[in-house]
Amino acid sequence: MVHLRLEGITKRFGSFVANDSISLEVQSGEIHAILGENGAGKTTLMNVLSGLYQPDSGQIHLEGVPVHLTSANDAIQHGIGMIHQHFMLVPQLSVAENIVLGTEFGLRLNLRQKMEQVRSMSNRYRLQVDPSAIVGDLSVGMQQRVEILKVLYRGARVLILDEPTAVLTPLEVESLFIILRQLAAAGHTILFISHKLDELLNLCDKVTVLRQGQVVETLPIQSVTKEILAQLMVGRKVLFSLDKGIPNPGSTILDVQNLYVKDDRHLPAIEGVTFQLRTGEILGIAGVDGNGQRELADAIAGLRSVAEGKICLEGIDITEWSVRQRIQQLHIGYIPEDRQRIGLVMNLSIAKNLILKAFKQLPFCKNWLLQDSIIDAHAIHAIKQFDVRAIDEQVSVSNLSGGNQQKVILARELSGHPKLIIAMQPCRGLDVGATEYVQKQLLIERQRGAAILYISTELEEVMTMSDRIAVMYRGQFMDILDAAHATIETVGVLMMGEKVSKVLDTIPATTST
Amino acid sequence: MTAKHSRRTFIAYGSAALGTSLLLKACANQSATPNAAGDSKPFKVAAVFVGLVTDKGWNQSAFEGLNAAKKKLGFEFAYVERTAAPDQAEALSEFARQGYNVVLGHSGEFVGPTQQVAGQFPNTLFLVTNGGISGSNIASVQTNNLQAGYLSGTMGALMTQSNKIAFVVAKQFKAMDQILRGFELGAKAANPAVVTTASYTGDWDDVAKAKEATTALISSGVDVIYSYLDNGYVGVLEAVKEQGVYLLGNTSDRLSDAPKTVLTSVVQNVGTAIASVVELAQKGEVKNQVYVVGAENPEVLYLGRFSEAVPLPMKQKVTEVEKQFKEGALAFKDCSVDGKESWCLQGATST
Amino acid sequence: MKTNQVSNAFLPFLAPMLAIVAALIVGAFLIALTGVNPLHAYTILFRESLANYYGIGNTLTKMAPLLLTASGVLVGLRAGQLNIGGEGQIHMGGLGAALVGLYVHGLPMWIHIPLALIGGFLLGAIWGGIAGYLKAFRGVNEVITTLLLNYIALNIISYLVQRPMIEPGAASPFTPIISDSAKLPILMPGGLAHAGIFIGLIATMVLGWLFRRSPLGYQIEVVGQNPTAARYAGMSVSRTIMFVMALAGGLAGLAGAGEVMGLKHRLFETISPGYGYEAVAIALLSRGSFTGVIFTSLFFGALRSGANVLQREAGIPFTIVYAIQGLTVLFIAISLAVESNLLHRVSLRMNRLKPAGVKL
């Protein structure tokens, strides 16, 4: 039975058409993926479905009945529940309180009874959530289950999940999928928005690909491959195996000796890391998030002080150098993990963001004055060179898409031919096209002779890019492998903190996600 | 000029303001400026207050005094209240510019602004309450603080059991120094064993601070308090009532606030004092001097009603002192105490 | 496109203007309650504060300290610091100027005046700098420290003008008059307006230029908008914050110096009747623009001097005028909230289409 049917949904913003006559059908109990690049119209469509936007034309049908959704509340009345990427929970309250929040208007709140309701509901869907737990104490994965329970409690039959796996660990992703499959089996209809192709192939029954606000195609999952989906999404062929070129490593440029670094809470984050990095080489660092990668990158960039050990660049001991010294006297490019929080000043223009590290130096600053014309010319050049999609250099970066924001950072960090590039999660949150672009740029730098430290929690990304792979676990390098001989299985086991020799013969198939 | 202008705007906005045109006319008349020449012009008095004229104290006293004088003498009267330090010179000069004959700044704060602007307006008399300054068109007026302090000190010294009496005030400056000095002299004259202290709360109106300071004094053995605060008086009264000691009222007759606690009040009616100087000005008899009005004018400075707690002989003693002031038998002079400028009783060498 | 740009330039001022109009309308009812014709009152208000020789002088007199202090607050806002310590900084600045003006003798005017101004700036800067130090290096919230430092400053001044610095025989707690060589020149003969307004205008224009053209302004902007990014780019966030707070304090200190050197010629307990707090409102209403600060200060200055005139000429109680001032702030705050909501919606729509958002 067709549960949800969209008919010619069109949503315009001014003269811009965000959704152009979108039609699609979703069966009851189906897990339906909506796939598209950033800016393809996924979010707009979801906002139309959850009542935040009213379409300019077109009709939504629920179980054959045309409905008109005027607000998020209205949508949930009709059984459409949205689970946002950023949770809307009150961390100080218990699970049960969060779930009933906003639904009760009586004077008396029988919390015990509500708690029982939530508990039985949680058991019914096998969510294993303790209704009396305080939300702030729960893991991210658990909080997401609370969000799911919240919409179920409000009687949702259609669940929309907006990039739900972005915040989850691989294990949590696996259990989320189990839950979603159960919900589908129980007759719930699920719309799953993502641009992680592997996940879609793994989970969904059908996929609708959007491009530039239009439906490109809706296909059953069995009939597609990763390559086909990527091509439909981007509109051209995407290379999943990058042509890396022949590695041509030269002399050692970065020498890290027995490094110890503490984290923000003054607990040991890196404990005795030693490695060398040569020119023209990419050293990938794999590991589950929070095993010291952040502290390692910060320590090399000078943002975090070193407790013990030595960092040498081109034979110079820079362990005690300040960030400014490193920026002014060394050529280090640092692509930070969080571009919006660390790498950019969102309200400033592209031009102003491009001079973030060089604003006191020639040619941008002369006679104690910022040279606006030079700064702008520099920006115009960078926009062209790095293919930043923006009307002009005065646009504030907050108006750019994630991919274009990352390009601005690349333009800044790769300018001046850095000898060492630290790339921390450079492709996080980017769509296929942008990811490909970033990786290609880094490979060009490698060809030029830059040494690159490529840190990512996405195992496949590290595998694709690296010449050598270091696996980090609890602040230590488990091993440094030659990428040519490393397999996903070996690295995966090392990421769990187990020595390969011990477990090689017992690798179960499940360790790969 | 103002009237003409207002009429023009009246025409301009006439249609819109039809319903309120009567009011507008009234206003226009009110602010009409008389021509500077001719004897028939109305006598005009303006006053600038630091605080509100409804403060039941310092400002209200002056305001009421001026209003009473206005009725009696028939002059025009205008005022502005709540004039902060940066606005004071402006307020004085704007009144002067509009042709007011007397412009009063009702606080010692106006000394500076008056000296700043008076030179520009030779035809206006600038009067400063508690100013202590005079000039070619500047005069000051104040009540006799030494007398007020002396009377209070006498009463306190007669009634204290512990021989410790205290003066509670917000800030330290000349007028308050005079009261304190009179308080000391009066107390010593009545009973040489009595020790006087002063406590500065820093705020005329802060009730909590006043109560705190009073309580501290009482716990150090003081059993008669002479309060000289505005709204802070409420805090003093509370503390004194709670601890069961005596209070001396200031400025107005405070007996009804607590008939068993308030021994008596030295009434200093600054409004009447101002009015007396304004009257001189209207008659053209004013001199550019510092007018200190004391018990010789019984409407300005006098003893209020007595509590039943005050025995008759003591009452008589205090009233006798008041009479001496009235008749001029007792008076003060400038002198030097420990190298500092101060005041002494006339006839006495030093204390 | 062109008309769009024009409307974009006009847009930031639309909401405050509408708010002022709304406040005047509501204020008109209040005035009518006192039995005065509101039109008559407003005619007086604007004629006497902006179109009359002495009125303009009075307005400028009040605008000078407002402008300097508000510029200081705005500098702080640019670096993400809310400095509500203008009141204390003004008083300390007044003290600095008074010390130089009273106890340094025998200097020619062209040395004495700058020296006294520097004295005011320095003490204000120290006062702001204390809050800056506590924020930058000890993590104490600047809103709390600046507020509390106000009380400390006021009490220090109160003590000084009652005891060590009081003029012998003063009728009220104030110091003697400063040397003639340290008095700021009067701008309009017969009036009170002094050269402090020029100091304010020059300071504001220098600041505007500083933020537009200098690397320092850029650094402050980055620190204010994203301290994490600033650290990542090698800037010293703590030092920048401390510098900015000292600068803000110094500007307020100049305001205090102007009051002492130009208007009162002596130090008082209350040389500022709340300019420090009004400056916060002005800075917030000026939408981050130094040009905006000039006009907003002018408006607030006019309202203040107009308030006095309304009392004098129309007999409107002081409280009503204050209510109109309060209403203006309230309406502007409301209009800003409404506007940012509207802008948010508009920008949601415009983002993808035309990423030329409203610049700060």
- Does residue C48 register a pLDDT over 90? no
CA distance B270 to chain C (A): 15
What average pLDDT does the segment A414-434 reach?
85
Q: Residue C8: pLDDT band by 50, 70, 90 thresholds? A: low
Span A248-268, average pLDDT: 88
**How distant is the Cα of C271 from the closest Cα of chain B, in angstroms?**
6
Contact indicator for C16, C332 with CB cutoff of 8 Å: yes
Whether B132 and B73 map to the same domain: the answer is: yes
Residues 6 or more apart in contact with residue A425 via CB below 8 angstroms:
A337, A455, A456, A457
Task: Give the mean model confidence (pLDDT) for residues A168-174.
Answer: 76
Phi, psi of A366 (to 5 degrees): -140, 135
The sign one gets for the Cα dihedral C13, C19, C22, C27 is negative
pLDDT given at position B183: 96
C266–chain B nearest CA distance, Å:
8
pLDDT of B176 = 92
What tokens does A128 get?
């294993």
pLDDT digit string, tens, across residues B170-185:
988 889 999 999 999 9
- Give the distance from CA A56 to its chain's centroid: 31
Query: Cβ neighbours of residue C302 under 8 Å, at least 6 residues apart?
Result: C45, C46, C49, C50, C59, C63
Predicted confidence band at A501 (pLDDT cuts at 50, 70, 90)?
A: low
> Which pLDDT score is estimated for C2?
42
Got the DSSP string for C245-304?
HHHHHHHHHHHHHHIIIIIISS-BS-S-SSHHHHHHHHHHHTTT-HHHHHHHHHHHHHHH
Report yes or no: C354 at the A interface, CB cutoff 8 Å.
yes
Cross-sheet strand order for the sheet of A332-335: A332-335, A420-424, A451-455, A282-286, A468-473, A476-482
| Count of CA atoms in the C-beta half-sphere (13 A) of C106 | 0
Sheet holding A158-162, edge to edge: A80-83, A158-162, A189-194, A31-36, A206-211, A214-220
Residue ranges of domains in chain A, CATH in brackets? 2-234 (3.40.50.300), 341-414 (no CATH)
* Same-domain status, B18 and B44: no
**Range in A494-503, C138-147, C195-204 with the lowest mean pLDDT:** A494-503
What does the pLDDT average to over A50-63?
88
B193/B253 same-domain check: yes
Could you tell me which residue, A130 or C201, shows the higher pLDDT?
C201
Q: What pLDDT shows up at residue B336?
A: 87
B341 and B214 co-located in one domain: yes
Query: How sure is the predictor about C104, in pLDDT bands with cuts at 50, 70 and 90?
Result: very high
Q: C352, A395 in Cβ contact below 8 A?
A: no
For residue C154, name the pLDDT band (cuts at 50, 70, 90): very high
Instruction: Give the per-residue pLDDT at A300.
Output: 93
Does C164 lie at the interface with B, CB-CB under 8 angstroms? no
Could you give the percent of chain B with pLDDT greater than 90?
Answer: 64
Q: How many domains does chain B have?
A: 3
Give the pLDDT of residue C344: 57
Compute the mean pLDDT over every residue in chain A, rounded to the nearest whole number: 84
Task: Give me B277's structure tokens.
Answer: 């100087």
B73 or C345: which leads in pLDDT: B73
Instruction: Give mean pLDDT, residues A120-137.
Output: 83
User: What's the confidence (pLDDT) of residue A162?
Assistant: 85
C-chain residues within 8 Å CB-CB of B54? Answer: none
Same domain, B140 and B150: no
Contacts of A341 in chain C (CB under 8 A): 226, 228-229
| pLDDT tens per residue, range C191-241 | 888 999 999 999 999 999 999 899 999 999 999 999 999 999 889 999 999
pLDDT given at position C101: 95
Q: Is residue B114 part of a domain?
A: yes
Is the confidence at residue B14, as pLDDT, over 90? no
Angle between helix C275-285 and helix C318-353 axes, rounded to 10 deg = 30
At B268, the pLDDT band (50, 70, 90 cuts) reads: very high
Q: Which of C225, C223, C325 is nearest to C282 (CA)?
A: C325
- pLDDT band at A142; cut points 50, 70, 90: confident
List chain A residues with CB under 8 Å of C353.
13-16
Q: Are A31 and A180 in contact (CB under 8 A)?
A: yes
Q: Quote the pLDDT of residue A229.
A: 83
Task: Give the integer Cα–Cα distance in Å for A138 and A141.
Answer: 8
Q: In this predicted model, what pLDDT tens digit does every residue of C332-344 receive, in sequence order?
A: 778 777 766 666 5
In a domain, B34, yes or no: no
Q: What percent of chain B has pLDDT over 70?
A: 87
Q: Looking at residues A326-353, what average pLDDT do you find?
A: 88
pLDDT computed for residue C40 by the predictor? 87
Structural domain boundaries, residue B8: 1-28
Mean pLDDT, residues B9-27 taken together = 37
Give the contacts of B40 (CB within 8 A, at least 6 positions apart).
none
Span A367-395, pLDDT tens digits: 888 888 889 989 998 888 888 877 788 88
Report if residue B33 sits inside a domain: no
Whether residue C6 has pLDDT greater than 50 = no
Q: Is the pLDDT of residue A155 over 60?
A: yes
CA B105 to chain CA mean position, Å: 11
The rounded distance, in Å, linking the Cα atoms of C223 and C217 is 10
Residue A216 sits at φ, ψ, to 5 deg, of -80, -50
Mutate which: B80, B116, B181, vs C, most C CBs within 10 A = B80
State how beta strands B102-105 and B44-48 pair.
parallel
Question: What is the pLDDT at residue A242?
Answer: 64
The mean pLDDT of B10-21, rounded to a whole number, is 38
CB C64 within 8 A of CB C229: no
Block residue for tokens 């990786």: A439
Residue contact C214–A369, C-beta within 8 A:
yes
C75 touches chain B (CB under 8 A): no
Same domain, B341 and B239: yes
> Chain C closest CA to A390's CA: distance in Å?
7
Contact, A271 vs A296, CB < 8 A? no
The dihedral over CA atoms of C191, C194, C198, C199, expressed in degrees to the nearest 10, equals: -160
Residue in chain A nearest C236 by alpha carbon: A324
In this structure, are B163 and B107 located in the same domain? no
Report the alpha-carbon distance of residue A200 to residue A165 in Å, rounded. Answer: 11
Q: Is A198 exposed, middle or buried (0-12, 13-18, 19+ CB in 10 A)?
A: exposed
Q: Provide, as residue numbers in chain C, all residues whose Cβ is less than 8 Å from the Cβ of B13.
A: 39, 43
Check pLDDT > 50 for residue B15.
Answer: no
C319 touches chain A (CB under 8 A): no
Tokens (6 digits) for A286: 């794999």
Same domain (yes/no): B68, B196: no
User: What would the mean pLDDT of B193-202 be, rounded to a whole number?
Assistant: 93
Chain A interface includes C189 (CB < 8 A)? no
Q: Do both B179 and B58 map to the same domain?
A: no
Contacts of A134 (CB under 8 A, 6+ apart): A91, A92, A93, A94, A95
Which chain A residues have a beta carbon less than 8 Å from that of C357? 395-396, 398-399
Q: Is residue B179 part of a domain?
A: yes
> B334 pLDDT exceeds 50?
yes
Residue A407 has pLDDT above 80, yes or no: yes
The CATH number of whichever domain residue B66 belongs to comes to 3.40.50.2300
pLDDT tens readout for residues B108-120: 999 989 998 999 9
Decide: helix, strand or coil at residue B52: coil
Burial C140-176, CB ≥16 within 10 A → b, else e = eebeebbbebbeebbeebbbbbbeebbbeebbbbbbb
**Residue A95: pLDDT band by 50, 70, 90 thresholds?**
confident
Confidence tier at B105 by pLDDT (50, 70, 90):
very high
* Least Cα separation, residue B96 to chain C (angstroms): 12
Query: Which chain C residue shows the shortest CA-CA distance from A400?
Result: C355
* DSSP type of residue A47: H
Whether residue A365 has pLDDT greater than 50: yes
Per-domain boundaries in chain C: 63-301
Q: Are residues B257 and B319 in the same domain?
A: yes
Residues B236 and B278 in one domain: no
C215–A360 C-beta distance less than 8 A: yes
Q: What is the per-residue pLDDT for A503?
A: 43
pLDDT of residue B18: 37
